[in-house]
Structure 1
Amino acid sequence: MYSNEREKEILNLLKQNNFVTVEYLAKKIHISPSSIRRDLKKLEKSGLITKSYGGAEIKSSVNKQIPFYLRSHKNTKEKAYVAMKAATLVKPGDIIFLDSSTSTYFMIEHLGNIKDITVITNSLSSMAALSEYNVNTYLAGGRLNPENRSCFIGAQAEEMFNSIHADYCFFSVQSLTADGDLYDCFANEITPRKLMIKNAEKKVFLCDNSKINHFSAYKLCNVSEIDYIISDIDIENYLSTNYDNISFIK
């Protein structure tokens, strides 16, 4: 089992038990206690857990799930700025993926001014807003996420994202670590986002300042896999590694 797979398993066990010992983790995952300690050290550095004597516990804020309508009223000025910058990348005739985040929702008023674009999204809220601007929109349907009732998940949504090649994927998550890892609190929205990223020519991460020093449980990807980071702050100064493949837009 690779280290990132072990870390995911450790987080799952912590969420089930709140506190676990090194010996318990070593027995469950079938590796040495020294390897577990190294994994715990890395997870603590990422802000996902708190180490204590003989074990670790998950941070209480890691898996905090906030409804869409509440998130859409947080950091609105910053999200609107980032969304406006993101929309400038879109050209007439483009096909784009929009994820179910509130950050991409703020792009919609700008997309309405661009001719002949096509939007594919699994966000019920975004679809409704796009219809007001007469934007050609396809909803990747499926099962409504019971944890985030503005978003569709499951095999049907995933099949649609896997069958289309888009010019851009615009997405956001709850957390960016200094190591460049992206995390979110909704486990069942990770796979649709992965497929959007996989099947888009260019990947664009919308990152307002609230994503920094904020921690979530489920890893999406690393920023080395994306092309643009758009933010209201100098994100490259926060990251511990230089990424020559990324265009930073502020």
Structure 2
Amino acid sequence: MTMYREKRFEEIKRLLAERKELSIEDIMHAVGVSRDTARRDIVALADSGAGRRTRGGIVSLTFGHTVPSYSERLKLFSAEKTAMASRALALIKPGGVYFVDDSTTLLKLSQSIDGEVTIYTHSLDNAIALSVKSDVTLRVLGGKLNHHGRYFFAPQSLAELSRIAFDAAFIGATAIAQDGVYFPYADDAEVKATLAEAARQVVVVSETQKFQIQAPYRGFALDAIDTLITERPLTASERGWFAPHTSLLAANA
């Protein structure tokens, strides 16, 4: 049964305080409403000062402005994101050299990595998670911190990345369209473009809601993706976007 509006708002605010970030799908499932109603609720809650709208959801007003503790970040993970991270983890082999991008799902991956591997990242949160892994050789790209995206960037990092044949680059996606994978920041899109050229395997880890989102800067074309990990199997129409060589892995399959 659909909750009354006031009751919905109370539940959404409670979940937002607990998880710090909610997607449209999280709200749809939590309070039993349609996508359009979830979007309207997000707008109303943001207008009332209960949170800050993002592409595809809402975050708490402090999200991105403080460094959360390890336990606080663990609360961000839905069962779907945890399952996607587990799929990604299976692709990491001892002795390998990998790049791990910034996203909450890939943060879960970073928290799950153990063993003797080398991990490059430009993500502040990944660096914090990996810093306690004594067997992991951690290499953090330097530069200026993007406070909202929580990643570091310097132009010289592109040259450094282009020289490394990563066994795999694990990349999140802000938006996926038929002509490519998109990101909200031009410099970060350059990082992803460089990784797509340099890595032996390009692994995009993305929820299917990203197919409905738009972002301004294209990182690379869909045919650059070797493996796509999503939370559910793609529809026939969605599968048609991707090249025959792209391996499509669903966390709940």
Q: TM-score, normalised by structure 2?
A: 0.65
Please state how far the C-alpha of 1:180 moved relative to its aligned partner: 5.0
Of 160-169 and 230-239, deviating more is 230-239
Question: Is the CA contact (8 Å cut-off) linking 1:236 and 1:248 kept in structure 2?
Answer: no
Higher relative contact order (CA 8 A, sep 6+): 1
Q: Hey, what does 1:131 align to over in structure 2?
A: 131
- Give the CA deviation at 1:131: 1.2
Take 1:197 and 1:69, find their aligned partners in 2: how far apart are those partners?
A: 30
Distance 1:69 1:78 in 2: 26
Q: Distance in 1 between matches of 2:155 and 2:242?
A: 36
Task: Pick the aligned partner of 2:82 from 67, 80, 83.
Answer: 80
Q: 1:221 to 1:242 in 2, by over 3 A?
A: closer
Tell me by how many angstroms 1:80 deviates.
1.5
Residues 40-77 of structure 1: per-residue CA shift (max 9 Å, x gap)? xxxxxxxxxxxxxxxxxxxx98799976589x766632
Q: Pairwise mapping of residues 147-166 of structure 1 onto structure 2 (< 5 A)?
A: 147-148=148-149, 150-166=150-166
Q: What is the identity, as a one-letter code, of the residue corresponding to 2:173?
A: V
Q: Tell me the distance in 2 between the aligned counterparts of 1:118 and 1:90.
A: 10
* Alignment deviations for residues 182-214 of structure 1 (CA, whole Å, 9 cap, x no partner): 112122211111112211100000011331212
In the TM superposition, 1:228-247 aligns within 5 A as 228-235=227-234, 237=236, 238-241=238-241, 243-247=243-247
Cα distance in 2, alignment partners of residues 69 and 86 from structure 1: 28
SS at match of 2:196: helix
Using a 3 Å threshold, how does the CA distance of structure 1 residues 242 and 225 change in structure 2: closer, same or farther?
Answer: closer
Cα distance in 2 for partners of 1:104, 1:154 equals: 21
Relative to structure 1, is the Cα distance of residues 64 and 207 closer, same or farther in structure 2, using a 3 angstrom cutoff?
Answer: closer
Number of residue-to-residue matches in the alignment = 186
Cα distance in 2 for residues equivalent to 1:194 and 1:215: 18
Percent identity for Structure 1 against Structure 2: 21
Q: Are residue 198 (structure 1) and residue 197 (structure 2) matched?
A: yes
**Letter of the aligned partner of 1:161 in structure 2?**
L
Comparing 98-107 with 235-244, which one deviates more in the overlay? 235-244
Which residues of 2 match residues 214-225 of structure 1 at below 5 A? Answer: 214-225=213-224
Query: Which residue does 2:121 correspond to in 1?
Result: 121
Residue 111 to residue 217, structure 1, CA distance change in 2 (3 Å): same
**Maintained 8 Å contact 1:68/1:102:** no
CA deviations on 1:90-136 (whole Å, 9 max, x unpaired) are: 11101001112222111023212xx2100011111101100112221
Q: Within the alignment, does 1:212 sit opposite 2:211 as a pair?
A: yes
| Pairing of 1:1-250 with structure 2 (within 5 A) | 68=64, 76-112=78-114, 115-134=115-134, 135-148=136-149, 150-177=150-177, 179-235=178-234, 237=236, 238-241=238-241, 243-250=243-250
Q: Secondary structure at the match of 2:159?
A: helix
Residue 78 of structure 1, CA deviation = 1.9
The CA distance in 1 between the partners of 2:54 and 2:130, in whole Å, is 32
| TM-score relative to the length of structure 1 | 0.66
Aligned-pair CA distance for 1:239? 4.0
**Distance (whole Å) between structure 2 residues aligned to residue 145 and residue 129 of structure 1:** 18
What is the Cα-based RMSD across aligned positions, in Å?
A: 2.7
> Are the counterparts in 2 of residues 140 and 161 from structure 1 also a CA contact under 8 Å?
no
Offset of residue 225 of structure 1: 0.8
Q: Distance in 2 between matches of 1:162 and 1:65?
A: 35
- 2:64–2:148: 8 Å Cα contact kept in structure 1? no
Change (3 A) 1:129 1:87: same
CA spacing shift, 1:94–1:213, aligned 2, 3 Å: same
